[in-house]
Structure 1
């Protein structure tokens, strides 16, 4: 059984990891943010759009659990790699300003959606999530995801400075 995580602890981890991620981005130039090759052909901007897409997916899950309803999988039968490629294609031509604005908006919205849930809603098994609780999905689409992409971007930036 998954470990219980209190809502306040989850929110704290989300806020802390978000702050670290945005601090990493803040001194970067537009050229650094839009240069491809960070991971595969993706730029930092593409990584940010990717995080926003997963935020939106999680916000929908959170809202469904809050309302006590089931939502269908928006990408049935697709692997994580296929979903990520889909999100990349949907966002690759968007402006940097638009992507950054959306990231701020969805980061705030995912935080608010978690705040609207109870500890029980976050930690109880949910049938349509294959009996898993919501909390690990929230972690995976927020603070764990920020940490993963922070490492990717830091590695790329270190390679650029050599």
Structure 2
């Protein structure tokens, strides 16, 4: 992905792929802990939503010309940290009891919001690795690339479970 014009269609396609998959599964399939880490597909979707919030905060900051405002994190957890295990554990503790319709609605709405916000960011703000110090040397386009890659990574993790759902 070298431009917003390349990234947004890929993200829209990924969004639609996930929507189609999630719509094809029963609530029991979505909520049963079948992944290697004891998570369910619902937990994986909640995890994706949690990280999407960071992406949305970054795109909003670029639009506003300020710093990202990361929602719902305790002060001791830094969303820019390399300790993703601590962040993931906290995210999971916050969402594991949420019902599937809430998790799905949050993920879907936030992904759509990310796409809508990203379309508003002027092209010249996506490139340049010094523009946003909170991007740690990466251009803003890395937000879209990271969201896409994160969803693809978890798609691959789901494949063994999904294969077990086939008749």
Which position in structure 2 is the counterpart of 1:124? Answer: 128
Q: Which runs of 5+ in 2 are unaligned?
A: none
- Alpha-carbon RMSD across the aligned residues, in angstroms, is 2.0
Mapping for residues 138-153 of structure 1, pairs under 5 Å:
138-141=144-147, 143-153=148-158
Tell me if 1:137 matches 2:134.
no
Deviation at 1:78, TM superposition (A): 5.6
Q: Is the 8 A contact 1:24 1:150 kept in 2?
A: no
Residue 91 (structure 1) aligned with residue 88 (structure 2)? no
- Is the partner of 1:19 in helix, strand or coil? helix
Partner residue of 1:158?
A: 163
Post-superposition Cα deviations, 1:89-142, rounded to whole Å, max 9, x if no partner, equal 11000011111111111011110111111222111222232221111122212x
Q: Which has the higher contact order (CA 8 A, sep 6+)?
A: 1
TM-score, normalising length: structure 2: 0.85
State the 1:61 CA deviation.
Answer: 0.7
Would you say the 8 A contact 2:60–2:68 is kept in 1?
no
Unaligned runs of 5+ in 1: none
